């Protein structure tokens, strides 16, 4: 590493930077703040209606924008609509780094703000995108965490399928691990999306892109037991009108993504496993185990609904790492003295 990268900024440079920041400070009118808030609300509708993003995705974008708006306000830099191509975006990214944000999180926030301002420019609400020329920090490459097959077996074996809730929980696990669905896709499933004769599930992914994913015999069994027995029992107890969505919570209403996370936590608490399992971890595991079993990369890409093959290739690295760990742990030559 170049030694110059470790040089501390001189007092003169620090004073110059503070002076530059002071020059950028503004006192926007209340009207400008109101217009900025209206712009955010308009963008939120655009993401939800026109882009058809999931609730969690929209929330993530809006949170990133509101964080930046709060930063502008706290530093007296103005409003979302008043900044231009100056150093404010760089100051913001620097503050995120100082406050301990990882490169991946900073890159995500930068992406959120860049696309927000592109929308504003397209709508004529501002004349330029202050984030357009800001370089995205290279995120540290980390492999997604996956479960080993014995851990997956332990989770399935812990579910009591004699109850209506247990039948539902088994189906959730089968769909997340057996078909690799995103949690938002899982919660939006309807019974009409199931094609039993071809063993396929019609899924609407990011941007409402339609794809078909296969389901195995275990998933089909779990579906039938839940739909014909468990789901009816949940609805009968609550005497509610049948909602369109396939998966229900114990109150008989549509299951949310947060509800799925709570359910997984409850399932794991009944096992001897100490690992924390989130819905996307099961999707990672689905892809990795497919590749372990000899599936080709293109097929896995289609099942996951990835636009780019590079998004799927990360699982080849995970599969290799698991293979090496298994070898190191089990090959008798490793224990030779």
231 is catalytic: no
Give the end-to-end CA distance of the chain in Å, rounded to a whole number: 39
Rounded Cα distance between 151 and 272, Å, is 9
331 is catalytic: no
Rounded Cα distance between 260 and 187, Å, is 8
Identified catalytic residue from 109, 182, 231, 289 = 182
Identified catalytic residue from 92, 177, 226, 315 = 315
306 is catalytic: yes
315 is catalytic: yes
Q: How many helices (H) and strands (E) does the chain have?
A: 14, 3
Q: Structure tokens of 327?
A: 């070898």
Nearest CA among 180, 193, 204, 195 for reference residue 247:
193
202: left (phi over 0), alpha (psi -120 to 50) or beta: beta
Identified catalytic residue from 103, 206, 238, 278 = 206
- Long-range contacts: 255-259, Cβ < 8 Å, 24+? 255/187, 256/187, 257/54, 257/55, 257/56, 257/183, 257/184, 257/187
206 is catalytic: yes
Rounded Cα distance between 12 and 334, Å, is 58
Q: Structure tokens of 79?
A: 């409003």
Identified catalytic residue from 167, 231, 283, 289 = 283
CB atoms within 10 A of CB 81: 17
Which residues does the annotation mark as catalytic?
182, 206, 280, 283, 306, 315
């Amino acid at each position: 590493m170049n030694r110059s990268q470790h040089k501390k900024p001189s007092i003169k440079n620090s004073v110059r930077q503070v002076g530059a920041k002071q020059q950028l400070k503004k006192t926007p009118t209340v009207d400008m703040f109101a217009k900025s808030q209206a712009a955010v609300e308009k963008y939120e509708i655009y993401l939800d209606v026109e882009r058809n993003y999931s609730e969690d995705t929209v929330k993530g974008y809006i949170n990133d924008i509101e964080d930046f708006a709060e930063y502008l306000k706290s530093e007296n830099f103005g409003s979302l609509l008043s900044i231009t191509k100056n150093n404010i975006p760089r100051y913001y990214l620097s503050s995120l780094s100082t406050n301990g944000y990882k490169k991946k999180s900073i890159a995500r926030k930068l992406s959120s703000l860049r696309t927000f301002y592109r929308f504003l420019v397209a709508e004529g609400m501002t004349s330029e995108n202050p984030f357009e020329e800001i370089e995205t920090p290279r995120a540290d490459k980390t492999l997604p965490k996956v479960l080993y097959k014995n851990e997956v077996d332990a989770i399935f074996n812990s579910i009591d399928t004699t109850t209506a809730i247990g039948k539902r929980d088994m189906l959730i696990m089968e769909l997340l691990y057996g078909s690799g669905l995103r949690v938002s896709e899982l919660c939006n499933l309807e019974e009409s999306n199931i094609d039993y004769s071809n063993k396929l599930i019609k899924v609407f992914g990011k941007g409402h892109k339609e794809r078909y994913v296969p389901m195995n015999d275990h998933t089909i069994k779990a579906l039938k037991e839940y739909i014909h027995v468990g789901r009816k029992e949940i609805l009968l107890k609550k005497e509610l009108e049948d909602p369109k969505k396939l998966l229900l919570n114990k109150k008989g209403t549509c299951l949310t993504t947060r509800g799925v996370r709570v359910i997984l936590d409850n399932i794991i608490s009944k096992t001897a496993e100490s690992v924390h399992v989130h819905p996307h971890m099961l999707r990672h595991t689905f892809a990795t185990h497919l590749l372990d079993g000899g599936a080709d990369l293109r097929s896995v890409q289609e099942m996951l609904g990835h636009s780019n093959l590079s998004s799927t290739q990360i699982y080849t690295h995970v599969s290799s790492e698991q293979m090496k760990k298994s070898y190191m742990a089990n090959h008798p030559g490793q224990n030779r003295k």
